[in-house]
Each structure stands twice: as C-alpha cells, then as structure tokens.
Amino acid sequence: DVPKNIFDVGWYDGSAKPGTTGAAFLDGHVSGPTQHGVFYDIKKLQPGDKLTVEKGNGEVLSYTVVKSVKYSKDSVDMVAALSPVTSGKNGLN
C-alpha cells in the first residue's frame, strides 16, 4: 500500500527486501498539499550520486545511482522496475 503520509516510504513486497539480492522497489510521495514529500528531490538524482535507506530495524544501507529512468504512471515497466541493473546484485528502484 502507498504510505499514508508524505514522510514515510513503503516497500513493495513483490520485490527483493532492501539489502538482499535483487531489486528492492520503494514507494513514497513527492509532495503533499502543503509540504514536500520524501521523494521531492528524486528528479535531481544523477548517476554517481549516493543515497542511504534506513530500514525499520535501524540498519542503514548505502546505494549509488547508476541510471535514472522516468515512466508515466500509466506505462511503468514493472519487469524493469523489479530487476536490478546488474543481475545477481542488489539494487534499489
């Protein structure tokens, strides 16, 4: 389910768990009615940028942007979205 507030991120349970082999697919809001959401600056990410994800248990995972692909909400390629850029590795989509 989509997170109920603009500051939380959800994990799609049809994807790999963050930090395991495969692509973890995260979902969150870009903005709300009066404030920017957790993914507001996602459009600024460029290859080489670093980002971190803190799991619910406090574990922090680090990722490096490899590429950026933009889809319209009506034409998301879920096969690509659920596949890591490098087969057999972990990834974040």
The pair of structure tokens assigned to 66 is 């490899």
Amino acid at 9: V
Cα separation, 63 vs 49, in Å, equals 8
Region 62-74 average pLDDT: 88
For the chain, the distance separating the N- and C-terminal CA atoms, rounded to the nearest angstrom, is 16
User: Which residue has tokens 């969150």?
Assistant: 28
SS3 call for 43: helix
For 1-38, how does the pLDDT look when each residue is reduced to its tens digit (9 = 90+)? 778 899 999 999 999 999 999 999 999 999 999 999 99
Provide the whole-model pTM.
0.83
Contact 27/16 with Cβ under 8 angstroms?
no
The residue-averaged pLDDT of 37-60 equals 93
**How far out from the chain centre does Cα 20 lie?**
14
